[in-house]
A and B are shown apart, each in its own frame.
Chain A
Amino acid sequence: MTPALTAATARRVLAQLRHDPRTIALIVLLPCVLLGLIAWMFHGTPVLDQFGPILVALFPLIVMFLVTSVATLRERTSGTLERLMASPLGKGDFVGGYALAFGVVAVVQALVVTGFAVWVCGMDVHGSLGAVVLVAVLDAVLGCTLGLAASAVARTEFQAVQMMPLIVFPQLVVCGLLMPRDEMPTVLEWISRAFPLTYGVDAMQHLAAGSSLGDVAGDVAVIVAFLAGAVVVGGLTLRRRTP
Protein backbone atom coordinates (compact mmCIF):
# COMPACT_ATOMS: atom_id res chain seq x y z
CA MET A 1 0.00 0.00 0.00
CA THR A 2 1.38 3.41 -1.04
CA PRO A 3 -0.13 6.64 0.36
CA ALA A 4 0.32 8.46 -2.97
CA LEU A 5 -1.57 5.76 -4.88
CA THR A 6 -4.32 5.53 -2.25
CA ALA A 7 -4.76 9.30 -2.44
CA ALA A 8 -4.76 9.24 -6.26
CA THR A 9 -7.46 6.56 -6.22
CA ALA A 10 -9.56 8.58 -3.75
CA ARG A 11 -9.16 11.68 -5.94
CA ARG A 12 -10.21 9.69 -9.00
CA VAL A 13 -13.34 8.33 -7.27
CA LEU A 14 -14.26 11.85 -6.12
CA ALA A 15 -13.71 13.17 -9.67
CA GLN A 16 -16.12 10.51 -10.93
CA LEU A 17 -18.70 11.64 -8.37
CA ARG A 18 -18.15 15.28 -9.35
CA HIS A 19 -19.15 14.39 -12.90
CA ASP A 20 -22.36 12.88 -11.51
CA PRO A 21 -24.07 15.69 -9.53
CA ARG A 22 -27.36 13.82 -9.44
CA THR A 23 -25.81 11.02 -7.37
CA ILE A 24 -24.33 13.56 -4.97
CA ALA A 25 -27.77 15.16 -4.61
CA LEU A 26 -29.32 11.76 -3.92
CA ILE A 27 -26.67 10.85 -1.35
CA VAL A 28 -27.15 14.07 0.58
CA LEU A 29 -30.83 14.84 0.05
CA LEU A 30 -32.44 11.39 0.32
CA PRO A 31 -31.74 10.96 4.06
CA CYS A 32 -33.02 14.50 4.65
CA VAL A 33 -36.27 13.77 2.84
CA LEU A 34 -36.82 10.57 4.84
CA LEU A 35 -36.03 12.30 8.11
CA GLY A 36 -38.33 15.19 7.17
CA LEU A 37 -41.19 12.77 6.50
CA ILE A 38 -40.77 11.17 9.92
CA ALA A 39 -40.52 14.54 11.64
CA TRP A 40 -43.73 15.60 9.92
CA MET A 41 -45.54 12.34 10.75
CA PHE A 42 -44.69 12.50 14.45
CA HIS A 43 -45.00 16.28 14.76
CA GLY A 44 -45.74 17.33 18.33
CA THR A 45 -44.49 14.08 19.90
CA PRO A 46 -41.06 13.28 21.38
CA VAL A 47 -40.48 10.58 18.71
CA LEU A 48 -38.04 12.68 16.65
CA ASP A 49 -35.88 13.51 19.68
CA GLN A 50 -35.82 9.84 20.65
CA PHE A 51 -35.34 8.18 17.27
CA GLY A 52 -33.99 11.05 15.15
CA PRO A 53 -30.33 10.46 16.06
CA ILE A 54 -30.70 6.75 15.25
CA LEU A 55 -32.10 7.58 11.82
CA VAL A 56 -29.29 10.09 11.29
CA ALA A 57 -26.92 7.13 11.68
CA LEU A 58 -29.05 4.61 9.81
CA PHE A 59 -29.97 6.26 6.49
CA PRO A 60 -26.38 7.20 5.59
CA LEU A 61 -25.26 3.63 6.28
CA ILE A 62 -27.82 2.21 3.85
CA VAL A 63 -27.25 4.86 1.17
CA MET A 64 -23.48 4.56 1.31
CA PHE A 65 -23.64 0.77 1.27
CA LEU A 66 -25.59 0.84 -1.97
CA VAL A 67 -23.49 3.51 -3.65
CA THR A 68 -20.21 1.82 -2.82
CA SER A 69 -21.20 -1.71 -3.72
CA VAL A 70 -22.49 -0.61 -7.12
CA ALA A 71 -19.47 1.63 -7.79
CA THR A 72 -16.94 -1.11 -7.10
CA LEU A 73 -18.93 -3.71 -8.98
CA ARG A 74 -18.97 -1.40 -11.99
CA GLU A 75 -15.20 -1.28 -11.70
CA ARG A 76 -15.10 -5.09 -11.86
CA THR A 77 -17.41 -5.44 -14.83
CA SER A 78 -15.90 -2.58 -16.88
CA GLY A 79 -12.42 -4.13 -16.87
CA THR A 80 -10.82 -1.17 -15.09
CA LEU A 81 -10.23 -3.35 -12.02
CA GLU A 82 -8.40 -5.88 -14.21
CA ARG A 83 -6.24 -3.08 -15.61
CA LEU A 84 -5.48 -1.87 -12.09
CA MET A 85 -4.72 -5.39 -10.85
CA ALA A 86 -2.16 -5.70 -13.67
CA SER A 87 -0.62 -2.39 -12.52
CA PRO A 88 1.51 -1.56 -9.46
CA LEU A 89 -1.62 -0.40 -7.56
CA GLY A 90 -1.92 -2.30 -4.27
CA LYS A 91 -5.17 -3.93 -3.22
CA GLY A 92 -5.03 -1.78 -0.10
CA ASP A 93 -4.70 1.32 -2.30
CA PHE A 94 -7.86 0.36 -4.14
CA VAL A 95 -9.98 -0.36 -1.07
CA GLY A 96 -8.41 2.47 0.93
CA GLY A 97 -8.96 4.93 -1.92
CA TYR A 98 -12.64 4.07 -2.10
CA ALA A 99 -13.06 4.21 1.70
CA LEU A 100 -11.28 7.59 1.77
CA ALA A 101 -13.31 9.10 -1.07
CA PHE A 102 -16.65 7.91 0.24
CA GLY A 103 -15.51 8.87 3.74
CA VAL A 104 -15.27 12.47 2.51
CA VAL A 105 -18.76 12.18 1.04
CA ALA A 106 -19.94 10.63 4.31
CA VAL A 107 -18.70 13.64 6.29
CA VAL A 108 -20.62 16.02 4.02
CA GLN A 109 -23.69 13.80 4.21
CA ALA A 110 -23.58 13.47 8.01
CA LEU A 111 -23.15 17.23 8.48
CA VAL A 112 -26.02 18.09 6.16
CA VAL A 113 -28.37 15.43 7.57
CA THR A 114 -27.63 16.31 11.20
CA GLY A 115 -27.96 20.02 10.46
CA PHE A 116 -31.26 19.40 8.68
CA ALA A 117 -32.58 17.28 11.59
CA VAL A 118 -31.64 19.85 14.22
CA TRP A 119 -32.33 23.16 12.51
CA VAL A 120 -35.12 22.32 10.10
CA CYS A 121 -36.95 19.43 11.78
CA GLY A 122 -36.32 20.71 15.29
CA MET A 123 -34.64 17.57 16.61
CA ASP A 124 -33.53 18.13 20.20
CA VAL A 125 -30.36 16.22 21.14
CA HIS A 126 -29.82 16.06 24.89
CA GLY A 127 -26.27 14.70 24.59
CA SER A 128 -23.27 15.86 22.58
CA LEU A 129 -24.22 17.00 19.07
CA GLY A 130 -20.61 16.63 17.93
CA ALA A 131 -20.70 12.99 18.99
CA VAL A 132 -23.91 12.49 16.98
CA VAL A 133 -22.11 13.79 13.86
CA LEU A 134 -19.08 11.61 14.61
CA VAL A 135 -21.15 8.43 14.99
CA ALA A 136 -23.13 9.33 11.84
CA VAL A 137 -19.89 9.74 9.85
CA LEU A 138 -18.48 6.47 11.19
CA ASP A 139 -21.71 4.67 10.34
CA ALA A 140 -21.67 6.09 6.82
CA VAL A 141 -18.04 5.00 6.33
CA LEU A 142 -18.98 1.62 7.80
CA GLY A 143 -21.69 1.42 5.12
CA CYS A 144 -18.99 2.09 2.49
CA THR A 145 -16.63 -0.54 3.76
CA LEU A 146 -19.38 -3.14 4.15
CA GLY A 147 -20.46 -2.29 0.60
CA LEU A 148 -16.89 -2.80 -0.61
CA ALA A 149 -16.66 -6.17 1.09
CA ALA A 150 -20.10 -7.21 -0.19
CA SER A 151 -19.40 -6.21 -3.78
CA ALA A 152 -16.45 -8.60 -3.74
CA VAL A 153 -18.88 -11.46 -3.22
CA ALA A 154 -21.42 -10.24 -5.77
CA ARG A 155 -20.88 -11.25 -9.38
CA THR A 156 -23.63 -9.18 -11.00
CA GLU A 157 -25.40 -5.87 -10.43
CA PHE A 158 -28.52 -7.80 -9.41
CA GLN A 159 -26.62 -9.63 -6.69
CA ALA A 160 -24.93 -6.42 -5.54
CA VAL A 161 -28.26 -4.73 -4.95
CA GLN A 162 -29.58 -7.80 -3.06
CA MET A 163 -26.57 -7.63 -0.74
CA MET A 164 -28.10 -4.56 0.88
CA PRO A 165 -31.18 -6.33 2.34
CA LEU A 166 -29.03 -9.39 3.07
CA ILE A 167 -26.46 -7.52 5.12
CA VAL A 168 -28.36 -4.52 6.42
CA PHE A 169 -31.87 -5.82 7.21
CA PRO A 170 -30.95 -8.52 9.76
CA GLN A 171 -28.90 -5.88 11.55
CA LEU A 172 -31.88 -3.53 11.50
CA VAL A 173 -34.17 -6.15 13.04
CA VAL A 174 -31.98 -6.90 16.05
CA CYS A 175 -30.15 -3.59 16.56
CA GLY A 176 -32.55 -2.38 19.23
CA LEU A 177 -34.57 -0.07 17.05
CA LEU A 178 -37.70 -2.27 16.95
CA MET A 179 -37.39 -3.62 20.48
CA PRO A 180 -35.02 -2.76 23.32
CA ARG A 181 -32.23 -5.34 23.21
CA ASP A 182 -32.60 -6.34 26.88
CA GLU A 183 -36.19 -7.44 26.17
CA MET A 184 -35.18 -9.69 23.24
CA PRO A 185 -34.85 -13.46 23.42
CA THR A 186 -31.34 -14.17 24.72
CA VAL A 187 -30.11 -15.73 21.48
CA LEU A 188 -31.18 -12.70 19.45
CA GLU A 189 -29.53 -10.41 21.96
CA TRP A 190 -26.29 -12.35 21.49
CA ILE A 191 -26.61 -12.17 17.74
CA SER A 192 -27.17 -8.44 17.93
CA ARG A 193 -23.78 -8.07 19.62
CA ALA A 194 -22.08 -9.52 16.54
CA PHE A 195 -23.52 -6.81 14.27
CA PRO A 196 -21.87 -3.39 13.91
CA LEU A 197 -25.12 -1.47 13.51
CA THR A 198 -26.11 -2.40 17.08
CA TYR A 199 -23.28 -0.28 18.42
CA GLY A 200 -24.18 2.70 16.23
CA VAL A 201 -27.80 2.57 17.40
CA ASP A 202 -26.74 2.04 21.02
CA ALA A 203 -24.48 5.08 20.87
CA MET A 204 -27.19 7.22 19.30
CA GLN A 205 -29.78 6.11 21.88
CA HIS A 206 -27.45 7.17 24.66
CA LEU A 207 -26.59 10.45 22.95
CA ALA A 208 -30.28 11.21 22.47
CA ALA A 209 -30.82 10.61 26.19
CA GLY A 210 -28.03 12.99 27.21
CA SER A 211 -24.74 11.07 27.12
CA SER A 212 -21.44 12.70 26.23
CA LEU A 213 -18.86 11.43 23.73
CA GLY A 214 -16.91 9.79 26.56
CA ASP A 215 -19.96 7.73 27.56
CA VAL A 216 -20.23 6.17 24.09
CA ALA A 217 -16.47 5.72 23.50
CA GLY A 218 -16.86 1.94 23.80
CA ASP A 219 -19.49 1.87 21.06
CA VAL A 220 -17.37 4.14 18.87
CA ALA A 221 -14.35 1.87 19.31
CA VAL A 222 -16.35 -1.20 18.25
CA ILE A 223 -17.66 0.61 15.14
CA VAL A 224 -14.10 1.62 14.19
CA ALA A 225 -12.97 -2.00 14.67
CA PHE A 226 -15.74 -3.27 12.36
CA LEU A 227 -14.84 -0.57 9.86
CA ALA A 228 -11.20 -1.61 9.81
CA GLY A 229 -12.22 -5.27 9.58
CA ALA A 230 -14.44 -4.59 6.57
CA VAL A 231 -11.55 -2.77 4.81
CA VAL A 232 -9.32 -5.79 5.40
CA VAL A 233 -11.99 -8.22 4.16
CA GLY A 234 -12.56 -5.99 1.11
CA GLY A 235 -8.82 -6.09 0.38
CA LEU A 236 -8.51 -9.82 0.93
CA THR A 237 -11.37 -10.64 -1.42
CA LEU A 238 -9.74 -8.69 -4.26
CA ARG A 239 -7.84 -11.05 -6.51
CA ARG A 240 -5.06 -10.14 -8.90
CA ARG A 241 -5.73 -13.38 -10.77
CA THR A 242 -9.30 -14.29 -11.72
CA PRO A 243 -10.74 -17.40 -13.44
Chain B
Amino acid sequence: MGNEELATAVDVAGLTVRRGPHTVLDGLDLRIPAGRVVGLLGPSGAGKTTLLRAIVGVQQVHGGRVTVLGRPAGAPELRRRVGYVTQAPSIYTDLTVTENLRYFATVLRAPSDDVDRVLDQVDLGRYARTRAGDLSGGERSRVSLAAALLGAPELLVLDEPTVGLDPVLRRDLWDLFGRLRDDGTSLLVSSHVMDEASRCDRLLLMRDGALVADATEAELLARTGADDVEHAFLALVEEGVR
Protein backbone atom coordinates (compact mmCIF):
# COMPACT_ATOMS: atom_id res chain seq x y z
CA MET B 1 0.00 0.00 0.00
CA GLY B 2 2.84 2.36 0.90
CA ASN B 3 4.32 2.27 -2.58
CA GLU B 4 0.94 2.64 -4.24
CA GLU B 5 0.39 5.83 -2.29
CA LEU B 6 3.40 7.33 -3.98
CA ALA B 7 2.29 6.35 -7.47
CA THR B 8 1.25 9.16 -9.77
CA ALA B 9 -1.82 8.90 -11.98
CA VAL B 10 -1.47 12.27 -13.69
CA ASP B 11 1.45 14.65 -13.89
CA VAL B 12 0.89 18.09 -15.38
CA ALA B 13 3.88 20.36 -16.01
CA GLY B 14 3.72 23.87 -17.42
CA LEU B 15 0.38 23.24 -19.13
CA THR B 16 -0.71 26.21 -21.23
CA VAL B 17 -3.98 26.35 -23.12
CA ARG B 18 -5.26 29.34 -25.05
CA ARG B 19 -8.73 29.69 -26.46
CA GLY B 20 -9.03 32.58 -28.88
CA PRO B 21 -7.37 35.59 -27.28
CA HIS B 22 -7.76 34.14 -23.76
CA THR B 23 -5.16 32.12 -21.93
CA VAL B 24 -7.27 29.59 -20.05
CA LEU B 25 -4.39 27.77 -18.38
CA ASP B 26 -1.00 29.45 -18.02
CA GLY B 27 1.84 27.13 -17.10
CA LEU B 28 -0.17 24.92 -14.75
CA ASP B 29 1.74 22.38 -12.63
CA LEU B 30 0.06 19.66 -10.59
CA ARG B 31 0.21 16.01 -9.68
CA ILE B 32 -2.67 13.62 -9.09
CA PRO B 33 -1.93 10.54 -6.95
CA ALA B 34 -3.08 7.11 -8.06
CA GLY B 35 -5.75 5.19 -6.17
CA ARG B 36 -7.37 8.30 -4.68
CA VAL B 37 -10.51 10.34 -5.20
CA VAL B 38 -9.19 13.78 -6.07
CA GLY B 39 -11.67 16.64 -6.16
CA LEU B 40 -11.07 19.45 -8.64
CA LEU B 41 -12.99 22.34 -7.15
CA GLY B 42 -13.47 25.85 -8.38
CA PRO B 43 -16.03 28.26 -9.74
CA SER B 44 -17.42 28.06 -13.24
CA GLY B 45 -14.82 29.43 -15.65
CA ALA B 46 -11.83 28.42 -13.50
CA GLY B 47 -10.49 26.16 -16.27
CA LYS B 48 -11.55 22.83 -14.74
CA THR B 49 -13.06 21.40 -17.92
CA THR B 50 -10.07 22.54 -19.99
CA LEU B 51 -7.70 20.79 -17.59
CA LEU B 52 -9.78 17.59 -17.66
CA ARG B 53 -9.93 17.68 -21.47
CA ALA B 54 -6.15 18.08 -21.61
CA ILE B 55 -5.74 15.06 -19.31
CA VAL B 56 -8.03 12.97 -21.48
CA GLY B 57 -6.21 14.17 -24.59
CA VAL B 58 -9.03 15.89 -26.49
CA GLN B 59 -7.87 19.45 -25.78
CA GLN B 60 -5.50 21.33 -28.08
CA VAL B 61 -2.67 22.47 -25.84
CA HIS B 62 -0.16 25.25 -26.49
CA GLY B 63 2.61 24.32 -24.11
CA GLY B 64 3.67 22.03 -21.32
CA ARG B 65 3.40 18.32 -20.74
CA VAL B 66 0.61 16.10 -19.45
CA THR B 67 1.58 12.55 -18.43
CA VAL B 68 -1.21 10.07 -17.68
CA LEU B 69 -0.42 6.62 -16.21
CA GLY B 70 3.13 7.10 -17.39
CA ARG B 71 2.22 7.91 -20.99
CA PRO B 72 1.72 11.22 -22.80
CA ALA B 73 -1.95 12.27 -22.50
CA GLY B 74 -4.02 11.18 -25.47
CA ALA B 75 -1.68 8.31 -26.42
CA PRO B 76 -3.63 5.57 -28.25
CA GLU B 77 -2.83 2.96 -25.58
CA LEU B 78 -4.45 5.19 -22.93
CA ARG B 79 -7.82 5.36 -24.65
CA ARG B 80 -9.07 2.17 -22.95
CA ARG B 81 -7.36 2.88 -19.63
CA VAL B 82 -8.94 6.28 -19.05
CA GLY B 83 -12.70 6.77 -18.67
CA TYR B 84 -14.09 10.23 -19.35
CA VAL B 85 -17.47 11.75 -18.56
CA THR B 86 -18.19 15.09 -20.21
CA GLN B 87 -20.15 17.74 -18.36
CA ALA B 88 -23.22 17.41 -20.59
CA PRO B 89 -24.38 13.78 -20.89
CA SER B 90 -22.75 12.50 -24.09
CA ILE B 91 -25.05 9.68 -25.06
CA TYR B 92 -27.39 9.04 -27.98
CA THR B 93 -30.82 10.22 -26.88
CA ASP B 94 -32.54 8.32 -29.70
CA LEU B 95 -31.15 4.97 -28.53
CA THR B 96 -32.17 2.94 -25.48
CA VAL B 97 -29.87 2.85 -22.47
CA THR B 98 -28.72 -0.67 -23.34
CA GLU B 99 -28.14 0.18 -27.01
CA ASN B 100 -25.96 3.11 -25.93
CA LEU B 101 -23.93 1.02 -23.53
CA ARG B 102 -23.56 -1.92 -25.93
CA TYR B 103 -22.13 0.38 -28.57
CA PHE B 104 -19.65 2.01 -26.20
CA ALA B 105 -18.75 -1.43 -24.78
CA THR B 106 -17.87 -2.64 -28.29
CA VAL B 107 -15.78 0.48 -28.94
CA LEU B 108 -13.90 -0.02 -25.64
CA ARG B 109 -13.68 -3.80 -26.19
CA ALA B 110 -15.25 -4.35 -22.80
CA PRO B 111 -16.67 -7.82 -22.06
CA SER B 112 -20.34 -8.17 -23.00
CA ASP B 113 -21.55 -8.68 -19.42
CA ASP B 114 -20.02 -5.30 -18.55
CA VAL B 115 -23.22 -3.52 -19.64
CA ASP B 116 -25.23 -5.12 -16.83
CA ARG B 117 -22.43 -4.50 -14.34
CA VAL B 118 -22.22 -0.74 -14.99
CA LEU B 119 -26.02 -0.41 -15.09
CA ASP B 120 -26.06 -1.90 -11.58
CA GLN B 121 -23.29 0.42 -10.47
CA VAL B 122 -25.25 3.53 -11.40
CA ASP B 123 -28.53 1.90 -10.29
CA LEU B 124 -30.29 2.24 -13.64
CA GLY B 125 -31.08 -1.44 -14.31
CA ARG B 126 -34.80 -0.77 -14.49
CA TYR B 127 -34.31 1.72 -17.34
CA ALA B 128 -32.23 -0.64 -19.49
CA ARG B 129 -34.82 -0.67 -22.28
CA THR B 130 -35.86 2.97 -21.99
CA ARG B 131 -34.93 5.45 -24.71
CA ALA B 132 -32.24 7.71 -23.24
CA GLY B 133 -34.16 10.78 -24.45
CA ASP B 134 -37.10 9.80 -22.23
CA LEU B 135 -34.94 9.89 -19.07
CA SER B 136 -34.51 12.88 -16.76
CA GLY B 137 -31.36 14.97 -16.93
CA GLY B 138 -29.90 13.28 -13.86
CA GLU B 139 -30.62 9.81 -15.22
CA ARG B 140 -28.99 10.71 -18.52
CA SER B 141 -25.85 11.86 -16.77
CA ARG B 142 -25.76 8.55 -14.90
CA VAL B 143 -26.00 6.68 -18.24
CA SER B 144 -23.10 8.84 -19.41
CA LEU B 145 -21.19 7.85 -16.27
CA ALA B 146 -22.06 4.17 -16.80
CA ALA B 147 -20.56 4.37 -20.29
CA ALA B 148 -17.29 5.62 -18.80
CA LEU B 149 -17.21 2.73 -16.32
CA LEU B 150 -17.26 0.15 -19.14
CA GLY B 151 -14.06 -1.86 -19.31
CA ALA B 152 -13.11 -0.80 -15.75
CA PRO B 153 -10.62 1.97 -16.66
CA GLU B 154 -7.70 2.64 -14.29
CA LEU B 155 -8.34 6.39 -14.27
CA LEU B 156 -11.76 8.02 -14.27
CA VAL B 157 -12.01 11.67 -15.26
CA LEU B 158 -15.44 12.98 -14.33
CA ASP B 159 -16.55 16.50 -15.20
CA GLU B 160 -19.23 17.60 -12.71
CA PRO B 161 -20.93 14.20 -12.53
CA THR B 162 -23.26 15.16 -9.68
CA VAL B 163 -24.75 18.34 -11.13
CA GLY B 164 -28.52 18.41 -10.89
CA LEU B 165 -28.81 15.23 -8.85
CA ASP B 166 -30.91 14.99 -5.72
CA PRO B 167 -28.97 14.64 -2.44
CA VAL B 168 -29.69 10.93 -2.13
CA LEU B 169 -28.32 10.19 -5.59
CA ARG B 170 -25.32 12.44 -4.98
CA ARG B 171 -24.51 10.52 -1.84
CA ASP B 172 -24.93 7.21 -3.71
CA LEU B 173 -22.60 8.35 -6.48
CA TRP B 174 -19.93 9.50 -4.03
CA ASP B 175 -20.27 6.11 -2.31
CA LEU B 176 -19.72 4.51 -5.72
CA PHE B 177 -16.62 6.65 -6.30
CA GLY B 178 -15.31 5.49 -2.91
CA ARG B 179 -15.88 1.83 -3.81
CA LEU B 180 -14.14 2.28 -7.16
CA ARG B 181 -11.21 3.87 -5.33
CA ASP B 182 -11.11 0.91 -2.92
CA ASP B 183 -10.88 -1.36 -5.97
CA GLY B 184 -7.78 0.56 -7.08
CA THR B 185 -9.23 3.06 -9.54
CA SER B 186 -7.88 6.62 -9.58
CA LEU B 187 -10.59 9.26 -9.81
CA LEU B 188 -10.45 12.93 -10.71
CA VAL B 189 -13.84 14.53 -10.09
CA SER B 190 -14.60 18.17 -10.81
CA SER B 191 -17.29 20.07 -9.00
CA HIS B 192 -18.28 23.65 -8.33
CA VAL B 193 -20.07 22.58 -5.17
CA MET B 194 -17.58 23.07 -2.37
CA ASP B 195 -19.42 20.83 0.10
CA GLU B 196 -18.51 17.79 -2.00
CA ALA B 197 -14.93 18.34 -0.82
CA SER B 198 -15.55 16.18 2.25
CA ARG B 199 -16.01 13.14 0.01
CA CYS B 200 -12.60 13.56 -1.64
CA ASP B 201 -9.27 12.17 -0.42
CA ARG B 202 -7.49 15.20 -1.77
CA LEU B 203 -8.48 18.59 -3.17
CA LEU B 204 -7.28 20.76 -6.01
CA LEU B 205 -8.71 24.26 -5.81
CA MET B 206 -8.68 26.23 -9.03
CA ARG B 207 -9.48 29.82 -9.88
CA ASP B 208 -8.84 31.79 -13.09
CA GLY B 209 -6.80 28.98 -14.60
CA ALA B 210 -4.39 28.72 -11.67
CA LEU B 211 -4.09 26.30 -8.79
CA VAL B 212 -5.06 27.96 -5.50
CA ALA B 213 -4.45 24.92 -3.30
CA ASP B 214 -3.42 21.27 -3.47
CA ALA B 215 -4.10 19.66 -0.11
CA THR B 216 -6.39 17.40 1.89
CA GLU B 217 -9.53 18.97 3.33
CA ALA B 218 -8.08 18.80 6.86
CA GLU B 219 -4.84 20.51 5.79
CA LEU B 220 -6.78 23.19 4.00
CA LEU B 221 -8.98 23.97 7.00
CA ALA B 222 -6.00 23.92 9.37
CA ARG B 223 -3.95 26.24 7.17
CA THR B 224 -6.72 28.82 6.68
CA GLY B 225 -8.47 28.44 10.02
CA ALA B 226 -11.77 28.28 8.11
CA ASP B 227 -14.79 26.16 9.10
CA ASP B 228 -15.45 24.77 5.62
CA VAL B 229 -13.85 24.55 2.19
CA GLU B 230 -15.93 27.43 0.82
CA HIS B 231 -14.46 29.81 3.41
CA ALA B 232 -11.02 28.28 3.03
CA PHE B 233 -11.25 29.02 -0.69
CA LEU B 234 -12.23 32.64 0.04
CA ALA B 235 -9.39 33.01 2.53
CA LEU B 236 -6.84 31.66 0.05
CA VAL B 237 -8.08 33.91 -2.77
CA GLU B 238 -7.98 36.97 -0.54
CA GLU B 239 -4.56 36.02 0.73
CA GLY B 240 -3.41 35.80 -2.89
CA VAL B 241 -4.85 39.22 -3.67
CA ARG B 242 -3.04 40.89 -0.81
Contact = CB atoms under 8 A, between A and B. Distances in A.
Interface of B: 19-20, 56-61, 74, 76, 79-80, 82, 84, 86, 88-95, 99, 103-104, 106-109, 131, 147
Contacts of A79: 86, 88-90
Given A241-B59, A243-B60, 16 more contacts: A4-B106, A5-B107, A12-B95, A15-B99, A78-B88, A79-B88, A80-B92, A83-B86, A86-B79, A87-B79, A87-B108, A88-B79, A89-B107, A241-B60, A242-B58, A243-B20
Contacts of B104: 83, 87
By secondary structure, the B interface counts as loop
Nearest to A90: B76
Contacts of B19: 243
Contacts of A240: 57-58, 74
List the 4 shortest-distance A-B pairs measured between CB atoms, nearest first.
Answer: A79-B90, A8-B106, A12-B103, A83-B90
B108 A88 contact: yes
A164 to B, nearest CB: 22
| Interface footprint category on A | 20 to 34
A87 B95 CA distance: 19
B60 A12 contact: no
A79 B92 CA distance: 10
A189 interface: no
A84 interface: yes
Contact of B57 (A20, A78, A86): A86
B107 A84 contact: yes
A90 B92 CA distance: 19
A11 B103 CA distance: 9
A151 B43 CA distance: 34
